[in-house]
Amino acid sequence: MGKEKIILDVDPGSDDAIAIAVAGRHPRIELLAITAVAGNQTLGKTAKNALKVCSHLGITGVPIAAGMSHPLVREPITAANVHGESGLDGVELEEPKLDLDPRHAVDLIVEMLSSLSGDINFVATAPLTNLAVALRKKPGIAKKIKRIVMMGGSYGLGNITPAAEFNIYADPEAAHIVFSSGVPIVMMGLDLTHQAVVTQDVIKRVECIDNEASRLFVGLMGFYSTRYRERFGFDGAPLHDPTTLAWLIDPSIVETKAMHVDVELRGEHTYGRTVCDYWCALGKLPNADVGVRLEVERFWDAICEALSFYS
Ligand code: RIB
Ligand code: CA
């Protein structure tokens, strides 16, 4: 199988950082660009964190651009309670030896999609503001996107409200634009990502890789998992964002189910919920393949293999 070309849209964020690591060296992935957006932390921090992670891991030659600093309509929110004030609490990364691309992320996305032949995956592990604005700025790019592979939403419980998952809740209007764009979508919601828990056994397995990427993983997961134990009573933190890369590397790692997904924009208690028609009750055409079951062992095999490509 050839390489999957991707633009990776992130809000580092501990799990975003591991998604960058997985994409950075994997032989199945061609990382064309990284775009940062406000989400887990403010844009200034998420963009700097993307630079720091790439500089620390020696990921070079990949344009990294800062994008939207605010959601389209709602007031901004962050997830400092989960990722810390820096967005990457748990590690102290050196000042990056890289600079941001001078272009705004939206312009980079539009330029890259317009100039290339349409076989690019847009991988989003953050609020969808950058992609939504790019689709509004140049609607024609929709047919140039091979598929959107995103972490966000759920057909079950939310994590930031009882009904909504953070990436969608942070910019529901942006998510609505993306889910109604007509671009094929693969959605890794919480129902799937909560099967990817970083247990102590996983930590021990990654520690044995013994390189910069594995040490970054262990450092970040220390802080991140403690938050999840305290907040959710989990046995560790779910590695949400890298599930998108794992699917791209080997789609058989995730069982998906075609569903029609709408985003709630008016509900007093359900604002930002992905309303997933699991049983096709409304008979609408599906607009997303939604992750339902993770091949857990093979997922961790893929993550460990991806981290092993670093020195
Ligand atoms: O709800 C989990 C998502 O929100 C992940 O992308 C995590 O990084 C945070 O952005
Ligand atoms: Ca994220």
pLDDT digits (tens, 9 = 90+) for 190-248: 999 999 999 999 999 999 999 999 999 999 999 899 989 999 999 999 999 999 999 99
pLDDT of residue 1: 75
Q: Which two tokens stand for residue 170?
A: 């942070």
Q: What is the model's pLDDT at position 106?
A: 98
Task: Determine whether 309 is exposed, middle or buried from the number of CB atoms within 10 Å of its CB (0-12, 13-18, 19+).
Answer: middle
The Å distance, Cα 136 to ligand 1 centre, comes to 24
138 φψ region: left (φ > 0), alpha (ψ -120 to 50), beta (else): beta
Residue 133 CA to ligand 2 centre (angstroms)? 18
Both tokens of residue 38?
A: 């406000």
Pairing of strands 185-188, 288-294: parallel
Which residues, other chains included, contact 137 with Cβ-Cβ below 8 Å and sequence gap of 6+? 106, 110
Q: Give me 47's structure tokens.
A: 């963009």
Distance 281 CA to ligand 2 centre (A): 31
Measured distance CA(294)–CA(84) in Å, rounded = 28
CA–CA distance, 72 with 129 (Å, rounded to integer): 7
Measure the CA–CA gap between 98 and 62, rounded to whole angstroms.
10
Q: Into how many domains does the chain fold?
A: 1
Q: For the domain that residue 257 is a member of, what is the CATH number? A: 3.90.245.10
* Enzyme catalytic residues: 11
Q: Which atom of ligand 1 is nearest to the CA of 15?
A: 8
Range of the domain at 16: 4-308
Q: Which residue among 9, 10, 14, 15 is best mutated to probe the pocket of ligand 1, counting the most ligand atoms within 8 A of its Cβ?
A: 15
Q: Map tokens 């909560």 to a residue.
A: 194
pLDDT tens by residue, 274-287: 999 999 999 999 99
The alpha carbon of 60 is separated from its chain's Cα centroid by a whole number of angstroms, namely 20
**Beta-carbon contacts of residue 147 (< 8 Å; ≥ 6 apart):** 121, 122, 183, 184, 185, 186
DSSP per-residue codes, 59-124: --S--EEE--SS-SSSPP---HHHH-SSSSTT--PPPPS----SS-HHHHHHHHHHHS-S-EEEEE
Give the pLDDT score at 311.
87
Ligand 1 pocket, residues with Cβ under 6 angstroms: 11, 13, 15-16, 39-40, 79, 125-126, 151, 159, 165-167, 240-241
Residue stretches of the chain with pLDDT short of 70: none
> Which SS3 state, helix, strand or coil, does residue 205 take?
helix
Please identify, by atom number, the ligand 1 atom nearest to the C-alpha of residue 190: 1
What DSSP letter does each residue of 162-176 carry, written as one string?
SS--HHHHT-HHHHH
Contact 240, 188 (CB under 8 A): yes
Antiparallel, parallel or unpaired: β 254-259 and 288-294: antiparallel
